[in-house]
Amino acid sequence: MNDELAAARAAVPKGSKPKVAFLYMRGSAAVYLIGGKGSGADSLIEAAGAVDAGEEAGLDKPFTPITGEALVRAQPDVILMMTKGLESVGGIDGLVRIPGIGQTPAGMNRRVVDMEDGVLLGYGPRTPLVIDILVDRLHRT
């Protein structure tokens, strides 16, 4: 597994690093959170050669309720979500209608990456594959 993790990290393109905000959402329960330091997604984002927008914006808790101000401060290039969370807010169209999201570079460009709920933060033997997928999806132009 160490070899697979090393290979996944070696595939990270050199150059600029996209700022990625991990959003945990459950629209039916009105749960709207942005990940920060210690969210679990932060380590995947870093391993995929990107910058955790929440952590960079100074969010020092794993999860913080989303506010327009927090999103404006984070200015993510890409939003990362679990698939069911994205579905729960009405897909990308519903997501960009949430206050603040449409005003970020990610929202304006509709740059949203979603992954199956059990895979994204499941960790374990599939982690190198998750990193490979994130490298591909986060670094697309």
Higher-pLDDT residue of 109 and 13 is 109
Task: Give the C-alpha separation, 17 to 62, whole Å.
Answer: 21
- pLDDT score recorded for residue 7: 62
Task: Give the C-alpha separation, 62 to 68, whole Å.
Answer: 18
- pLDDT score recorded for residue 117: 83
H-helix segments, 11-74 = 41-47, 53-56, 68-74
Domains of the chain, start order: 2-138 (3.40.50.1980)
| Percent of the residues in the chain that have a pLDDT greater than 70, as a whole number | 90
For the stretch 14-55, pLDDT in tens is 777 999 999 999 988 888 999 999 998 999 999 899 999 999
pTM for this model (two decimals): 0.89
Would you say residue 105 has pLDDT above 90?
Answer: yes
Residues forming a β-bridge with 78: 20
